[in-house]
Structure 1
């Protein structure tokens, strides 16, 4: 397995689950593992072990059918980390783009981790909106909520997350898909990696308005006008800041494949 050098951060891109609801294309759950100083942080958690064991109880039959959840224990983030020699308690922090069930299923696999979320998303979650899976939070996550900030990052609001391990991480509001949906920016040396969550489903949305996946994105958005405004901001970043930031989304399997091996490493100082 790869190790860090003590003052560097390694970013691993892993598939944390698969979704397939024909005629929609297969989709992945593109999670990040941030490794620094022997400790780990996650960006989103994918489908968890408890989901695999009790899918209908945890997620619900209708959601499983509509979203096309696939349940494979070997794809869970915990099992992948264990194959690299890590334990659940090596994960100190989890940063969620939002609280949809394909992003939160693995939370219970890391019960000691602090869970970072936008305050707006937590309010929406607490109101019991039907899109969420309440069983994913029954273990009582250690919520760390991040509200509005005056900090700016490349023209967008940014909310600093103090992980305490030297990793520069920002929550970047990209509201619309859900009412508190955020991207997660991680510094990579002189550049940034922005995990956009579900602000786009497929990378082609950065270039085209007429792709059929846009209709699916609009259908599943809590506020489609804000979703489209967030997508416009991502297009601006891709156009005006290509030398400073790379973007990746949660569901595009072709995009995930371009990040090299399943245990890819990039180093930031």
Structure 2
């Protein structure tokens, strides 16, 4: 069975004067079984933004709310049902990555053991309302497997697709990239290990200051970024890198709903 990878923008963040940012999720389909990499802004966020996220976070991150961009609605437009999503693999548990979890309550949610531990300890960066539905967690601890010189934690998906959690800590302590194998090549979804692709080549861009500010451990963040720079330099034919927020990294022609003015009111209907 062939693996099909869909690139979905599952939300928009826009806090002027900063440019608009995407919530770049992957939808994997193999044998009619679906898996998501991150879940974006969800239906309940759109319906009840203040209850779910709060005004301070909405304004700080620039959350925009458009039901059409939610993963659930995009899955339906592709001809599938939300219940076809059997697994969700999280790079980490920040609220712009976890809002859609409640739209797929039957899915198993995979994340690193370290990230789950921090989430359970009540770290203030996480939003508890996103987990009130009681996700089915599957945590992944340290592994002896090596992937291009990095630790890799195999994720057993119901679809059988080859997926690895690759620890890239710093943004959060349990932050991971998600590596997807297909036809002898890999796509590494780096989550928030970089915000913009230009970080692979310079530390002088203004976004680097924002990345440092948002990091739980900036030294670890910079070390992880160094690993990504090495992969990008040494293995360009084997590993494709893409991040969550850089709007330029969607395949050409992908409709991502980032053209202002944004459809729908900022705080929902």
Compute the TM-score of the two structures, normalised by the length of structure 2. 0.93
RMSD across aligned C-alpha pairs, in angstroms?
Answer: 1.0
Equivalent in the alignment of 1:200 = 194
Per the TM alignment, residue 260 of structure 1 is displaced from its structure 2 partner at its CA by 4.2
Q: Is the 8 A contact 1:150 1:158 kept in 2?
A: yes
Question: How many residues in Structure 1 have an aligned counterpart in Structure 2?
Answer: 256
Counterpart selection for 2:125 from 108, 131, 156:
131
Q: 1:165 and 2:144 equivalent?
A: no
Q: Is the 8 A contact 1:94 1:116 kept in 2?
A: yes
Q: Is the 8 A contact 1:115 1:143 kept in 2?
A: yes
Q: Deviations over 1:163-213 (max 9, x none)?
A: 132200000000000010000000021110000000000000001110000
Counterpart selection for 1:231 from 201, 218, 225:
225
1:245-264 to 2 correspondence within 5 Å? 245-256=239-250, 258-262=251-255
Per the TM alignment, residue 85 of structure 1 is displaced from its structure 2 partner at its CA by 1.6
Q: Is the 8 A contact 1:177 1:199 kept in 2?
A: yes
Equivalent in the alignment of 2:206 = 212
Q: Is the 8 A contact 1:13 1:262 kept in 2?
A: no
Determine the C-alpha separation between the residues in 2 that align with 1:242 and 1:262. 26
Q: Is the 8 A contact 2:192 2:245 kept in 1?
A: yes
* 158-167 vs 140-149, which moves further: 158-167
Runs (4 or more) in structure 1 with deviation over 4 Å come to none
Q: Is the 8 A contact 1:12 1:262 kept in 2?
A: no
Q: Is the 8 A contact 1:13 1:32 kept in 2?
A: yes
Q: Which runs of 5+ in 1 are unaligned?
A: 1-6, 264-269
Compute the TM-score of the two structures, normalised by the length of structure 1. 0.93
Q: Is the 8 A contact 2:34 2:159 kept in 1?
A: no
Equivalent in the alignment of 1:142 = 136
